[in-house]
Structure 1
């Protein structure tokens, strides 16, 4: 009976460990919530996590030729940079159970927010942008692109 108990406990700990997040689980390409864009999360030499826009469903302006640019940026000097390749998520640090301490830039509005992220499973990221306190913000869900 004791052997069975210890076997069950061992298996339970193994299952919990298999479900635990690892810092680099967030790396890769993700669909945004509306599926109209893909973002790529990378880890730089500073050990922090960054995200760039990798793909847009509609990458061109209405003329069908001109690539979309960061025209809402409050810094006029940055308004001509292309949206594809734009680094919009920066400086996220792994805290042991989530990514925290970074900033996220919304090219549609030109606004920047503090950011944090968590992964409820290996194929889902819950990214929260907020001002001041994390209670004052919005969460979006990304799904891993396969």
Structure 2
């Protein structure tokens, strides 16, 4: 649980329980507005009806279930509002203040892992 900053320090995501799963929503952005001074919107969402929703409050991690054997939250999905794509993902706590967040297509050994830092 808690709030974590992405690897670039541009986005802060709050992790919370949603049913028996773990989810995460954007709670802070280093650049919350676009070039016109309007709140950033989910312009690349594949669902045209959702393209006007703001990034703040957007659920970007969902369906993560704890895998005790792997000691990680697994079988989840991570949404990237910069390109409108959703990837499979897992989250592993490396230390009390560091998380490994890995998004991938197909197999977990292929993909990109990023280390996020605890904010609070």
Q: TM-score range by the shorter chain?
A: over 0.9
Q: Counterpart of 1:67? A: 39
Moved over 3 A (4+): none
Residue 62 (structure 2) aligned to one of 63, 86, 90: 90
Alpha-carbon separation, structure 2, partners of 1:60 and 1:136: 33
Aligned residues: 118
Q: Counterpart of 2:99? A: 125
Residue 77 (structure 1) aligned to one of 44, 49, 58: 49
Q: Counterpart of 1:140? A: 114
1:36 equivalent to 2:22? Answer no
Shift of 1:95: 1.1
Q: CA RMSD in A?
A: 0.8
Alpha-carbon separation, structure 1, partners of 2:116 and 2:103: 13
Q: Looking at both structures, which has the greater relative contact order when contacts are Cα pairs under 8 Å and sequence separation is at least 6?
A: 2
1:47 equivalent to 2:20? Answer yes
Q: How does 1:105-124 map to 2 (within 5 A)?
A: 105-124=79-98
Give the greater-gyration-radius structure (CA).
1
Alpha-carbon separation, structure 1, partners of 2:103 and 2:11: 18
Q: TM-score, normalised by structure 1?
A: 0.79
Runs of at least 5 residues in structure 1 that lack an aligned partner in the other structure: 1-26
